[in-house]
Structure 1
Amino acid sequence: MNFKAASLRYFLLALWLCSCKLTPLAQDVAEGNNIHLADPTVFYHKGTYYLYGTVEGNSGKGFEVYTSEDLKSWEGPKGVRDGFALSKEDAYGTEGFWAPQVFNHQGKFYMAYTANENIAIAESSSPLGPFTQQVKEPLAAPVKQIDPFVFIDDDGRKYLYHVRLNDGNRIFVAEMTDDMSGIKDETLREAIAAEEPWENTANAGWPVAEGPTVLKHKGMYYMIYSANDFRNPDYAVGYATSQSPLGPWVKQVSSPVISTKNIGEKGTGHGDFVKDKRGNLIYVFHTHQSDTVVGPRKTALIKAEFSKNPDGGEEILTVDPHSFFYPIIN
């Protein structure tokens, strides 16, 4: 991602994190059976879970996919292109394949993703791929943009939540055209910027809010997002609510809901939601490799739920720290 040394404070943060940056793949760390996908997403279809994410150390090739029947034990990679569900030969991009989202719409499977710090959308007849584009181009934008999340509302309108690299990583939203080939420029607006103390614990000159996911619950829209540089141990997950998919968004005082303080792992964040076979809401995200090494980041899952707000108003989103676990590869 594009992190700028815009101030002395941010320069000091970079120095503090340098040991992590110099060993991005942590080759001296035994990987075991953990899954090492950053920015992960899980898609459920006909009894099978499909896991995608940023392939650390190999993000220039596309997106691998793993499959599971229970979310705990996984097989793969099983994409049709040598393990990849999307290969760069079939779609836009030559490097930096990050943060995919897979969804089903009108009988087709779509993948929204980042490549070359742009956003593209590919389609397939199977969750295993190949995800392809007839025209290998990104969505038009005047700035670099990453971390897409496509939300289709009950009325069929489509919205693109994404991050624009503009004086920080800032989350924006815009209504999309019906064919998802672009956005309606007049609807574009900023949704979230990292301005709260927990969102920028290093007081960085380039504040980071990213990885948006949106849920609709009892007529209210919930945007779940991550804040802080992903290399920062304080990388964490919070949320905001709105009565409209376009905002304005009200950040919740209970944020962050996932952090090193309640999970016990460093660098917790940037994920997506899936409902399991029993209807439970599950958040999939990544953590640092260890307390001292950032990568390769490990894929993790945790149970979440909506519960009554003791102060009244919309229900609150919480997670159960005791449900946290790392999935494994068979």
Structure 2
Amino acid sequence: MNEIKRSGNPIFPGWYADPEARIFEGKYWIYPTYSAPYDEQTYFDAFYSEDLVAWTKVERILKMNNISWAKRALWAPSPIEKNGKYYYYFAANDIQSNDELGGIGVAVSDRPEGPFVDAIGKPLIDQFYHGAQPIDPHVYIDDDGSVYLYYGGWGHCNVVRLNEDMISIRAFDDGETFKEITPELFVEGPCMIKRNGLYYFMWAEGGWGGPDYSVAYAIAESPVGPFNRVGKILQQNKDVATSAGHHGIIQVPDTDEWYIVYHRRPLSETDANHRVVCIDRMYIEEDGRIRPVQLTFEGVAARPLKEG
């Protein structure tokens, strides 16, 4: 009897973090941060798979020297497809005040593997609104076509709406542009999914360099909340790995089958930047709550995407 093929964890070699997970053109895609000291985070790679088990690396899909305003530290990408193009949101420069150049940028490509080019020649969001550092973008398109960009660090989370062009910001119907939606204990790394008409908003808690980094969530009836914290769904397992957080989600189309893609630190590592990308199943209970994820070394079984 053939042994079931499994991904194993980590799912590909190298130090990577902050993975965004998507399905583009019939393949699974993961877009991570290259995890290194900030001054070495000068490019992005991507990975794709047809079955969640065998992953192919695409190198240098976006490089700092192709972004005129980026000078230090690229991280936390979030791409989306819209109108036949791929828009790629990312953080750069790790700005500490409104006096510095940097924040959240946007690049564009005709293909999910890039190469991506800077779309506007400047940051899309370059100021601190409501105390949120402009980092960790996560783009989400609702069923009605509305596009939301969630982002934030320093314990504050904002959401903005994007115009149809995907490279400019529009106001909400109430006239507000930068809407603060910070849930309890939010630190960074927002992520949004929708299931059965409800919005599941997730985020990272704790410090990214420490073992207690984790993911919690809230459920709301609106993409702008209010988001009342339910509890943690991803955290360290002292027998497997520490610092499990900053994730993306894959839903197999037309199913209630969910996977969480996240980074964690192997038990053998003490360097904060030594993070690896892993995948495990995420289950949503009959009552709609997310079951806490079990960290594994085995990963997940092969799951080809159906054709057609």
TM-score range, shorter chain: 0.7 to 0.9
Residues 322 and 130 of structure 1: CA distance in aligned 2, closer, same or farther (over 3 Å)? closer
2:204 alignment partner in structure 1: 226
1:176 alignment partner in structure 2: 162
**SS of match in other structure, 2:232:** coil
- Matching residue within 118, 136, 143 for 1:147: 136
Which amino acid in the other structure matches residue 37 of structure 1? Y
Deviation of 1:186 after TM superposition, in Å, equals 0.9
**SS of match in other structure, 1:316:** coil
Residues 87 and 326 of structure 1: CA distance in aligned 2, closer, same or farther (over 3 Å)? farther
TM-score relative to the length of structure 2: 0.79
2:178 alignment partner in structure 1: 188
In structure 1, the gaps of 5 or more residues are: 1-30, 196-207, 310-314
Are 2:146 and 1:157 equivalent residues in the alignment? Answer: yes
In structure 2, the gaps of 5 or more residues are: 1-9, 95-102, 301-308
> Which one is further off, 184-193 or 233-242?
184-193
d(CA) in 2 for partners of 1:304, 1:90: 37
8 A contact 2:217–2:232 mirrored in 1: yes
1:106 alignment partner in structure 2: 83
1:11 alignment partner in structure 2: none
- Matching residue within 53, 58, 65 for 1:72: 53
TM-score relative to the length of structure 1: 0.74
**SS of match in other structure, 1:89:** helix
1:62 alignment partner in structure 2: 43
8 A contact 2:215–2:246 mirrored in 1: yes
1:267 alignment partner in structure 2: 243
8 A contact 1:302–1:319 mirrored in 2: no
Deviation of 1:230 after TM superposition, in Å, equals 0.6
Deviation of 1:133 after TM superposition, in Å, equals 2.5
Deviation of 1:257 after TM superposition, in Å, equals 1.0
% identical aligned pairs: 27
The one-character-per-residue Cα deviations of 1:39-89 (angstroms, maximum 9, x if unpaired) are 01222223322222111227532211122222222222x2xxxx1111223
The root-mean-square deviation of aligned C-alpha atoms, in Å, is: 2.6
2:17 alignment partner in structure 1: 38
Which amino acid in the other structure matches residue 109 of structure 1? Y
Residues 97 and 183 of structure 1: CA distance in aligned 2, closer, same or farther (over 3 Å)? farther
The one-character-per-residue Cα deviations of 1:170-221 (angstroms, maximum 9, x if unpaired) are 11122233323125271422222554xxxxxxxxxxxx61111101111111
> Which one is further off, 88-97 or 282-291?
88-97
Deviation of 1:162 after TM superposition, in Å, equals 0.4
How many equivalent pairs are there? Answer: 270
Name the structure where helix makes up a greater proportion of residues: 1
Which amino acid in the other structure matches residue 148 of structure 2? Y
d(CA) in 2 for partners of 1:89, 1:73: 31
**SS of match in other structure, 2:283:** strand
Which amino acid in the other structure matches residue 181 of structure 2? A
